[in-house]
Chain A
Amino acid sequence: MKKSPPSFLLFILIIIFILISIINTSLAYAPTPTHANLTDLAVRFYNQNNQDSETKISLAEKQWLIQGSIEEDTPSRCLNHFYDPVYNKTWSFFGVEYLYPVLTAKEWAQNPFTQAIYDPLYLTSLGPISKSPVFSRTNFTWQKAIYSYIKGNKKDAFLALGHVLHLIEDMTVPAHTREDAHPPIIDSDIYEEMPSHLTFSDYEAIFSSFKNEKPLIKNSLNDYFDDTAKYSNNYFFSSDSIYSSKYHLPQVIFSDVPEIGQDGTIRVYLLGYDENKNLFHLAKKGASWRLQSGITNYTLNDVLVLNDYWQRLAKKAVINSSGVINLFFQEVAKAKQDPDFIKKNENNIILAALGGINTFINNVFQKTPDYTLVNNTETTINVVSNNNSPTSVNLSPTTTVFKTTTTLKPIVTTLKLTTTTLKPTTTTTLKQTTTTTLKTTTTTIFKTDFCPFLSSQLPLRNKVIINEVAWMGTIKNSDNEWIELKNISQNTIDLSGWQILDKDNQIKIVFEKGIKLDPNQFLLLERTSDDSVPEIKADLIYTGALSNYNEGLKLFDNSCLLQDEVLANPDWPAGDNVSKRTMERKADLTWQTSSNPLGTPKADNSSGYIVISSDSSSNTYNPPTTTTLNTTSTTVPTTTTTTTTTTTTTTKPSYPKVLITEIQVSGFNSDQTVNVYNEFIELYNPNDFDVSLTNWYLQKKTSQSEDFSSLVPANLLENKIINSHGYFLIAHASSSYSKIADVLLNNYTITENNTIVLKNPNREIVDKVGYGEANDCEIRHTFNPNSGQSIQRKYIDNNFIDTDNNYNDFEIQDCPSPKSISSTDHCLVSETTTTTTTTTTTRPSLTVTPQIPYITEFSWHPFSGDNSKIVLDFRTNEYPFIPETDKTNNIFTAMAFFLHSDLDDASSSFGIPPYYLGSKDNWTLDNIPGLVMIYPNCQGYSWNTSALVFTNSDFWCHAPGGARGLSYNWWQLPKDNHYLIEVTGTTSGQNVKFTSDQYVTIGYYGYDKFNTSYLRLVAYDPTKFYFDLSNYYHKPTNVNGFEVKCGDELCNTLIFAWNPASDIDPKDTLKYDLRYVFAEQGDDLNNNNFTREGWYSPYSYSVNFSEPLFDSTNNRFTLQISTKDIDYLNSRRLPGVPLDVFFAIKAIDSEGLQSEKYPIFYLHLPSLIPTTTTTEPTTTTSESTTTPTTTN
């Protein structure tokens, strides 16, 4: 017998539906690109892995899924999109959680009743009915999806399933699963923001990265929620839960890992393992003065971090969502097997409706609130080993215990499946996540492995260092190698877990627990046995040999942070294999050869190996006398004799470090003209001994060259000695530095963008400096010195720093200081000189022209409806428009407007502008009659000033304060070079009531090259610019005849046409502004009658175009543009998603005034992939003109 609802119920239902259709709430919002794209990928991934044609998702079905996934994000529903799998909690916001029946996303997806009460039209008397998945306008649960599909209503089914997919996708956002203190309100999570800025091609790229994998198979929807939420919770941070005490995970594997980016910048990261034990960037960490504790010290706002997150979490979202689609069809198949499935559900309606008072009574005495009932099962989450303490949470899958309630019949038969929840979890997950997409940026390290020797880290050298190395063994036995460590910090260092590794993988020392090193204490490690240093007991015996060439030793702490290193590249930096002198650290942590043939194990290092030179009274380091393999020629033809070594050997000698410390490319003559010969190279000997430069030489390379060429040949340095801690200057014979130079050259030049290298007799590069655009340097080149400047190695704590990074090590010196740290002796351009020069100048050389050389179309006139606002109105052809001169540059330029009056003898007598604009720190006209203006400046304040100041780049608009801060804000400069500067008065206090007999002349100023901080007169335009009483504040007329149509079937091009507007201001030229918005609910598509007012700007999107075509025969503009060139519109054109768009147009005149009204044109854009039902390529409606309520 067919059962049907009683007539009164039907009547009520009809009334409700009528009400629903009448009351159209505005809860439908624009689609979210992220969910739309992820759902699209999930469907494609599902179809790709599904061979059953009956359960493949069609284009229309995909469109419904996407629509559902978008519509889940309404303001009320979105509060239920959080699920913390550790504590089984949702979120809180100022305590509102306790008043608001928000559920976890997992519960929300399966609770029809709670979804029903979010319906504004929910009626009390129909409450029980809405418990059924059949009836509720806001029920988009998992049950509703299955029920609708069984009933044959596929659209409702896939809409509801789309809502569920949205929730699964949200579970891959850590902020949604870590109970972030700040849900996406105001300070939204950076990771959640990021995907919305991706393009469709970015999604395609992520899709192609795992398209060969399979959807994740789980047995229940709860399993999918748990798996997805635990993944984002356990492996990732959210912005405000980094190192949160609430969560034990993710585990930070390495906490201070510096990485050198492609831009040369060193960034410090926290690294963690993903599910495949691949390291990835968990967060970026602050450094230097940034305090090393507190949540604020970390950020996810970093390209590497966000990319690592996105690669993993987006993949998880797609794979799991496609698994949910698969589960949906399985559930549908099972429901179809149950002949009573529909009857049971529909019985619920009738029984509930007829239950009347009984139902109410039952509900009154019902102890458990309905909203905790999920799928007719009560779900409790028992976190394994949790014990209410987050510290005990582990990575094991949580156990989900399902208890069947006896009060209600199951709506969907998922109960049987829950018994096998846990079985497939681990294996399936691992199978699905074996792809590592970012191997280029991360290195796979297992926790039990040794630290990576080939690391780009810079050694910290602030705790324990490698202090001495006997890489050569001892005289007794070359195998008697030993290594000495020293604690140079002020604290006892626990060496547990520290590692010493060598390049050849022969030495792998891991310190056991309990080994500690007190301040200044040594630790001796001897090879193979305690006999390497017979007199001293070893602290640790190790195995493995050190090579004499191409070798290296690195010391890592227990976090694999590089504490110290020493590399033989190819030779060790010190030590002597012939005399078996060890390699030891000096006080400045550079290396030297020990003066003691046995080294200084567990004792302070020696003062260094001293060689007595026979031709010098000073102590000079020279390599031991050596011969090459053929023994026919001596490689170091010095007459040096050593006191200790005469043994013939096949090894190459080692040479000490000498630094290039300063380079000048060119300087100035006394008349301030550039002198290219005022160039020099300064070397410095940082050692405690003198160094002979015999057979040393310098080479250079230009930025265009691949090879080095000779710069200072070896013969010029022969027998030259550079004293300990002394300088050595190489200069041109015509240089002003020739008197203090140690070597003079006549035929060499160094220029900008060069690389300079210093090589020792072994042809090894001892030091290298690249500057400007040099193509070769130590890590990163430093700046080009300008004429008169030099680049100098930084001098800190009585040492020249040498980090082997030119950018770090060098800085620009305005006052070059050859053979000294700093000096003004050789600063040829001094302020004193310039001041003297300028004070003797009576009149500047002016470029006077009535044609206004730098600006065009100058006028000053009223510009407002009531003439109360006065503007300076001028245009330029370029920016910066005040040129440089031989005395000024345009780092800062300025204009001053001198005010005169034909009727005022006093002011009209003024004709000579001031040579300098105000003082050094105050670029104003002071008491000179002139105009006072206001404009946006670098300080961000609105400030009245008598000079219009500009900078030549954004670089100079950074440091507000003083006169510079009054420069025109770089980012607000008019793009069309049309300036409208408001005049607010005069320097004499006059208000803006000007008369036609008043005029201005203009002075142009530039930044003085020599008298720093002064603005110097560049040019003066004596043209009398009289005040123009005309008010040009006239808007252009409205645009008429506006039409938009598709250029082809799929609307890949758009054709716009309109009649030109006009403007009564004769000097005005008009341009057109095309904008668009997407249609929303409530918009009348047929009559173009907008319910949204004032949408034109800024809530609409601009169509960028260059020049429209003008057809003089019909007096119309036409413009054809590809939809792909309309960026945002194109990003919204997803496959299977048609768009309804409103276009509008306005005319804009030269002053930026817009036509008052704008015509609107509605256009329907078909989806990118046409469906079979898509026959009409375009739909156009009549045009209407709407007047916005907002005034322009």
Chain B
Amino acid sequence: MSFVKNKKYLIIFLVLIIFGLIIIMSLNYFNPKNRLKRQLERGQKELNIKLKEIEQMYQNDTYGGQTPEETYSLFLEALKNNDINLAVKYFLPEKQEEYKTLLTQIKQSNQWNQMLKDLLNPKNSKGKMMNGNYVIEVIDDKNVSVTTIVIKKPILILGNNKTELSNLWKIAQF
């Protein structure tokens, strides 16, 4: 009888222990700090997904040269053919719409031929490496600096962590 009674108390004790543990775990789960921790993990996961998408976007991107000069040549060739859609593909993907608008505006404002003339001027044929980027300063026949073209390798930078997204050089600024 006492064994049964003791066993009953033991069961009640164990149930209380389990119940207590469930409460503790529940409270712990809903702890704002842990909610924040989970938020951080979700955020990191979300960020990683975005970054993966960007990496994939660059890996699928075949427009550009193995050297900045090649990219620039391809870009010029597209401009010479009046192919704005092709020309903007040599820009960083996130900037393509922006520069498509710009090139279209240049075309519509009858500045296209002057632009081509300046870009194809031999004195504007060569850029120089500046802070890791290939920079071409376009100078017109009046010796006025018209624009600065920056061609760079797409690199994902997070703090000190740098990941080369593509081996193709892309135009970052025109």
Task: List residues 64-85 of chain B with CB under 8 A from any CB of chain A.
Answer: 65-67, 69-71, 73-74, 76-77, 80
Q: Is residue B125 contacting chain A, with contact meaning CB distance below 8 A?
A: yes
Interface size on A, residues (CB 8 A): 87
What residue of chain B has the Cβ atom nearest to residue A284's Cβ?
B148
Chain A residues within an 8 Å CB radius of B147 = 286-287, 290, 299
What is the count of residue pairs linking A and B with beta-carbon distances less than 8 angstroms? 233
Q: Is residue A944 contacting chain B, with contact meaning CB distance below 8 A?
A: no
Q: Is residue B160 contacting chain A, with contact meaning CB distance below 8 A?
A: yes
Inter-subunit contact B140/A288 (CB<8 Å): yes
Which single member of B24, B67, B74, B109 contacts A972 (CB below 8 Å)? B67
Chain B residues within an 8 Å CB radius of A287 = 140, 144-147
Q: Is residue A805 contacting chain B, with contact meaning CB distance below 8 A?
A: yes
CB distance from A455 to the nearest CB of B (A): 16
What residue of chain B has the Cβ atom nearest to residue A794's Cβ?
B141
Inter-subunit contact A958/B160 (CB<8 Å): no
CA gap between A1040 and B45 in the complex, in Å: 47
Chain B residues within an 8 Å CB radius of A93 = 47, 50
Which single member of A118, A291, A302, A808 contacts B106 (CB below 8 Å)? A291
CA gap between A958 and B69 in the complex, in Å: 8
Task: List residues 659-709 of chain A with CB under 8 A from any CB of chain B.
Answer: none
Q: Is residue A570 contacting chain B, with contact meaning CB distance below 8 A?
A: no
Chain B residues within an 8 Å CB radius of A73 = 159-160
CA gap between A77 and B44 in the complex, in Å: 12
Q: Is residue B120 contacting chain A, with contact meaning CB distance below 8 A?
A: yes
CB distance from A199 to the nearest CB of B (A): 13
Inter-subunit contact B111/A302 (CB<8 Å): no
Inter-subunit contact B32/A960 (CB<8 Å): no
Inter-subunit contact B155/A75 (CB<8 Å): no
What residue of chain A has the Cβ atom nearest to residue B42's Cβ?
A99
CA gap between A268 and B135 in the complex, in Å: 17
Most chain-B CB neighbours within 10 Å: which of A125, A128, A194, A289?
Answer: A289
What residue of chain A has the Cβ atom nearest to residue B35's Cβ?
A369
Inter-subunit contact A186/B155 (CB<8 Å): yes
Chain B residues within an 8 Å CB radius of A194 = 131
Inter-subunit contact A264/B143 (CB<8 Å): yes
Q: Is residue B17 contacting chain A, with contact meaning CB distance below 8 A?
A: no
Inter-subunit contact B39/A296 (CB<8 Å): no
CB distance from B43 to the nearest CB of A (A): 3
Inter-subunit contact A78/B50 (CB<8 Å): no
Inter-subunit contact B143/A265 (CB<8 Å): yes
Residues 349-393 of chain A, each 1 if its beta carbon lies under 8 Å from chain B, else 0 = 000000001001101101001110000000000000000000000
Q: Is residue B114 contacting chain A, with contact meaning CB distance below 8 A?
A: yes
What residue of chain B has the Cβ atom nearest to residue A30's Cβ?
B160
CA gap between A100 and B160 in the complex, in Å: 20
Q: Is residue B130 contacting chain A, with contact meaning CB distance below 8 A?
A: yes
Most chain-A CB neighbours within 10 Å: which of B120, B130, B159?
Answer: B159
CA gap between A266 and B145 in the complex, in Å: 6
Q: Is residue B115 contacting chain A, with contact meaning CB distance below 8 A?
A: yes
CA gap between A289 and B112 in the complex, in Å: 8
CA gap between A1186 and B141 in the complex, in Å: 57
Residues 119-159 of chain B, each 1 if its beta carbon lies under 8 Å from chain A, else 0 = 01010011000111101010111111111101010111111
Chain B residues within an 8 Å CB radius of A657 = none
Inter-subunit contact B158/A185 (CB<8 Å): yes
Chain B residues within an 8 Å CB radius of A954 = 125-126
Chain B residues within an 8 Å CB radius of A840 = none
Chain B residues within an 8 Å CB radius of A32 = 160
List A residues at the B interface (Cβ < 8 Å).
29-30, 32, 70, 73-79, 93-94, 96, 99-102, 113-114, 117-118, 122, 124-125, 127-128, 182, 184-188, 190, 193-194, 196-197, 258, 264-268, 284, 286-291, 294-296, 299, 301-302, 357, 360-361, 363-364, 366, 369-371, 780, 794, 803, 805, 807-808, 811, 938-940, 954-955, 957-961, 965, 969, 971-972
Q: 17 A–B contact pairs at CB < 8 A? A: A70-B160, A114-B36, A185-B157, A187-B92, A197-B132, A265-B145, A268-B145, A288-B111, A288-B140, A288-B146, A291-B102, A299-B173, A357-B27, A957-B125, A959-B120, A971-B69, A972-B67
Could you list 6 further interchain pairs (A-B, Cβ under 8 angstroms) beyond the known A100-B46, A288-B111? A75-B158, A187-B95, A288-B114, A289-B146, A370-B33, A939-B74
List 5 tightest A-B contacts by C-beta distance, closest first: A958-B125, A100-B43, A940-B70, A78-B159, A29-B160
